Structure 1
Amino acid sequence: MARYGRSTSVGRHPCGYREPPVTDRNSYRRLAALAHAGRRLAGASSRDDAIAVIAAVGLEALSGDSATIGRIEHEHGLLRIVRNLGDLASWEIEVPRDETYRMADFPQLSTSPDRAVAWSGSMEDPGLPMPISALLRALGKRSLILVPLVVDGAMWGMISVARGHAREPFNAEDLALGEALAGLLGATLGRIEDRNELQELAYRDALTGLGNRRAVDDRLEAVFDQGPLRSPVAVVLCDVNGLKAVNDEHGHAAGDRLLRDVGLLLSTEAGSLPGALAARLGGDEFCLVVEGLEPDELDHITARLSRDAATLHLGDGLACGWARATQRPGGAPTAVAAARALLRLADAAQYRVKRHGRDGTSGTTPRGRERDLPADVVEEALSRLQDAEPTVLDRLSAVSTAVFDLVDAAAWAVSLSVDGGPITIVRNLDRPRHARADSDGFEPGEQFSLDDYPATRDAILGGSFHASLIAGDDAERGFLAAAGYVEMVAAGRSIGTDGWLVEICGDALSEPLIGFEPLLRLLVELACAVPDQILTPPRTVGSSV
């Protein structure tokens, strides 16, 4: 670093008064620069105006050759340059459109506001970080000063001034002046309320600077609204373990610090993944939205996040799970439904990790009924079969309603595949509690290709299956997520060239369905055991209960 305080010679001004020492003149110059910046910032009416003022004043006051101001995009893990000024490299422009750098290459900025300090370095420094050294070479400069910019208590960006090879590197006084200029700009940006800033705040989490739930929803809806996906999209969902204990034992300020530290981990990860979005969904939930990654790459991401979170001084690490889609999950009819379905799948995967990581027990709690529920289901189903009309549809409907009522299921459906064609919902029933606007469950007459649902294709030949948000056939899991259910059990039977299917779906209020697969298969077989003359399936579909 440059030595400073070299000359203390005193001269005499022609008018008779003594000139101050050189070091004092430098101090006067710096104070004058701050006063000048303050006056100009007072008249700034927009963010761009304030940035232009500080870039110009910083370039002059710090005797720099070029100045740069960047904005941190926490949600993408990037530092986006918004203004360059001075003697620029051939590839730089004053107002760049897409000049970005990974936040991971600037650890001076990857910190909480209360720990942010100015930093300087030169090409002569043996410990100069490799990304900074590469940047100085690209700029054709010798040294730079980098000052974090804090606005309203949050990391906003940075101010950087670079000097060429003909100038001495920056010193401690330069660092102090840089911090003062950053403080002026931060205060000015804090008072400026332009519409662009307000719009950004609508998509940003105030505590961490990451995106919020609205940003995630909009991003996923845009992906699923484009028709066939160009590449797979995935959501990595992370839950902060031990946040409540930190709040209780150390106070909410410590809890907020933990959340900001976790936010930095996700922001850094997003910076290494092109197009990734890091967000805080609320409370202790965070997520990454990424595109074009394979399952093993997603496993590596969750492993890194879990490993890095384990090194934090507070909390008990992260529980991370992911869900990936190559098309709209479960055939969701709208982009909104598809986005919600993918988030539900990720939530289920994250819950499974958290459950096994803590105590390895199931998260499903039986209701503790003293009666034998399977026996009651059989008794009720046999009773209703005796009263049912002698058609396959009516008898399968009787079995479905018996199971539906006794396990407090969310929905049931009887479907038919004619001559090996698409499976069509013939009759169904949803509980009123499940008739929500954000759910896309069974619809009479709705058809699904058997090629898209291999478990269903096998079941209508006389098989059965169970699926939940965290286990089972991927296509069926996608349907559950899109419909808002948590698990399902299904059984089928083929009659000639046609196939029948009964599906029972449960939600959080239903009895667990995992043990009912063999029982439902038996009841479907029994329902279809009627005289041959009434086994011919109806050719008109679409009726509903």
Structure 2
Amino acid sequence: MGEDARVRVVVKLARSMAGADDVPGAVRVVAEAARVALDGSFAAVSVWERDRGRLRVLVNQGELTDGEEEFPADESYPVHDFPEITGFLHERWAAGGEPRAWVETVDGGTAGGVYRHERVAALRRRGRGSCVVVPVVLHGRAWGELYVARPVGAPAFGPAEADFASALAEVTASGLVHLRRLEEVRRLAYTDPLTGLANRRAVDARLEEAVGRHRRDGTVVSLVVCDINGLKRVNDSLGHVAGDHLLERFASVLSLCGAQLPAALAARLGGDEFCLVAVGPQAAEVVRVAEEVCRRAAALELGHGVACGVASTGQSIGPLGSARRLFRLADAAQYRAKTAGSRAPVVAGTTSTDDPVVQLADSVRGDLDRRAFRDREPSRGAPRGSGRGGERHVRPTRDE
């Protein structure tokens, strides 16, 4: 490949990396580009898992042999089998040098590396004649490696290909830095900073998707809304550090219980309000988990348990046109639990759509009237006053 062609490859790879949405997609682009650019039959990208002392393969591209998959579940190799890797991943640039590629061949020849029979044996076992290996380094720290191989009978890689592989690895590193920053931004955008749970934005996204799925194929969607009792009293009497500790402890309880529901999302909506979103499990299973949340919350050192409401399409709640209605139903059930001082969750629609919780939820639509549940007239099914300082407000953005 000529110089101009290599420049075009580098530019194309940089653009592809910039447009990648996630690491799996990015490393697939890298492996395929490196394989084609270096005229290889096979390419792989691996990440160094320091805690395991292993190189784990993220993607394999090209001619795969027995036991190789494009995206392997757990194909990994102990780093101690290849001490030259730790040489490249530690000492060689720690002393000011740059990470460089090295070549190995099936007959034991090396260029820039140290002969290792394990790697040569792997070449022979897989019918490959030579390979070029180059570390991928992010911010001066090893991230993993790029590996490209050619079949037996093909010309072995030379110094020029090794240099080009090093250039590709540097472009890869730059793209991965960008992706890691993007992932961090996404994480912050969808994570509550105090508890580490998902935040309101993440809940809205999950529910919109789940309600769409429910309307397509009838998948059960459930929402559990919890309000910590007595948080204001803890903040006022013991300070906000104690209040934050209570929030963190309850977040752990919610996460632990939510793990019993496959793929459930545990989240903090804000203040003392939390929720669980479950997609798939039956309503009875969700209610059982909500009951456990209430029991565990009552045993926490601070606070006075939680008020918990459950709304599920597996109950008699009527047609579900939007996620906003599911929120209103769970809110109304939780409000009833709060005003009644219930130690168990209140579930919307346990009897029929004439259920008082369903009636209360549907009476507060929020299109013109954004008043609290407490402001509904008693004849509409809602007692006045309760909660923090006697106030309980519907979250307007859910009902807009």
With the shorter chain as reference, the TM-score category is 0.3 to 0.5
> Normalising by structure 1, what TM-score?
0.35
> Normalising by structure 2, what TM-score?
0.46
